[in-house]
């Protein structure tokens, strides 16, 4: 079944708003600014890690995975044209991290792999993973038999907190059946909060919450576009 956003419990929706001020180019046209956003893009002018050396071929899953193990601010240098990076094994984050695609990077799970996992602890609100100006496409959540672990084709947040700003989530999927199985694109499980600002969700699906699912965590949605 396809639907938009399901917050299973203890969820709070924020008023519609979007990030303000000048924007770098993004993959989609952000929704109009109607009020102050709960979060704005992080300054990435002094990154801790750069994925790529200026050529598309240098921007690989392996290079991204290596940067993710250290956390910090991660940017891409793949050239001036848009680039698609195949991700065939989930990239795991265990520390505070900011991943900025500059409006040029698409991470593609190829219908075979979940793209990002924030691996924290159900009972904690940190670390925080921030993704901005990125596109997530073709992510596929696993089928393990544990409904609460099988959502989130693009991003699964297990504890900690997640912020997504000006991102596209397209054609990400989780299994179609399961009582607590939710979030074709994003599943937020326990821990802290999930904040979505100026994002677009299109053609994502799951048993519940085709775009986003949240269980026992706060979720805020600001000027996000959904098409299912």
Of residues 19 and 165, more confidence is placed in 165
pLDDT digits (tens, 9 = 90+) for 152-178: 999 999 999 999 999 999 999 999 988
Provide, rounded to the nearest whole percent, the portion of the chain with pLDDT above 70: 81
Q: What is the mean pLDDT of residues 199-217?
A: 91
Domain that holds residue 22: 5-227
Predicted pLDDT of residue 149:
83
60-109 pLDDT, tens digit per residue, is 999 999 999 999 999 999 999 999 999 999 999 999 999 999 999 999 99
Q: Which residues contact 153 (CB under 8 A, 6 or more apart)?
A: 109, 114, 115, 139, 140, 141, 172, 173, 174, 183, 184, 185, 204, 206
pLDDT at residue number 204 = 96
Task: Say what the pTM is.
Answer: 0.83
In terms of Cα–Cα distance, which of 94, 175, 166 is closest to 131? 166
Average pLDDT over every residue of 114-137 = 96
* Mean pLDDT on 51-55: 98
- Is the predicted pLDDT of residue 20 greater than 60, yes or no? no
How does pLDDT run across 179-207, given as a tens digit for each residue?
888 899 999 998 789 999 999 999 999 99
Query: What confidence score (pLDDT) does residue 100 get?
Result: 98
Predicted pLDDT at 25: 43
Q: Among 135, 120, 124, 127, which residue's Cα sits nearest to residue 203?
A: 135
- Residue 199: which of 160, 157, 179, 170 has the closest Cα? 170
Helices (H) and strands (E) in the chain, counts: 1, 17
pLDDT > 80? residue 35: no
Strands (E), the chain: 5-9, 49-51, 72-76, 83-86, 91-93, 97-108, 116-119, 128-137, 155-158, 161-165, 168-170, 186-189, 193-197, 200-202, 212-215, 218-222, 225-227
Residue 29 is predicted with a pLDDT of 65
- Residue 18 has a pLDDT of 39
Mean pLDDT of the chain: 85
Overall domain count for the chain: 1
Given this model, what pLDDT does residue 180 score? Answer: 80
170 CA to centre of own chain? 11
């Amino acid at each position: 079944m396809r639907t938009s956003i399901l917050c299973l419990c203890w969820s709070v929706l924020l008023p519609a708003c979007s990030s303000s001020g000048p924007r770098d180019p993004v993959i989609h046209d952000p929704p109009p600014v109607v009020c102050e956003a709960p979060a704005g893009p992080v300054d990435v002018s002094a990154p801790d890690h750069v994925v790529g050396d200026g050529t598309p071929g240098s921007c690989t899953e392996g290079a991204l995975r290596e940067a993710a193990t250290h956390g910090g601010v991660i940017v891409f240098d793949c050239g001036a044209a848009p680039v698609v990076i195949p991700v065939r094994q989930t990239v795991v984050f265990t520390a505070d991290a900011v991943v900025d695609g500059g409006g040029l990077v698409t991470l593609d799970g190829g219908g075979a792999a979940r793209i990002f996992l924030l691996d924290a602890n159900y009972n904690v609100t940190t670390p925080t993973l921030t993704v901005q100006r990125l596109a997530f496409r073709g992510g596929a959540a696993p089928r393990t038999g544990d409904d609460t672990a099988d959502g989130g084709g693009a991003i699964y947040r297990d504890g900690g907190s997640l912020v997504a700003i000006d991102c596209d989530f397209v054609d990400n999927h989780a299994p179609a059946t399961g009582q607590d199985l939710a979030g074709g694109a994003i599943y937020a499980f326990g821990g802290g909060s999930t904040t979505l600002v100026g994002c677009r969700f299109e053609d994502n699906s799951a048993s519940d919450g085709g775009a986003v699912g949240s269980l026992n965590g706060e979720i805020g949605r600001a000027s996000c576009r959904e098409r299912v």
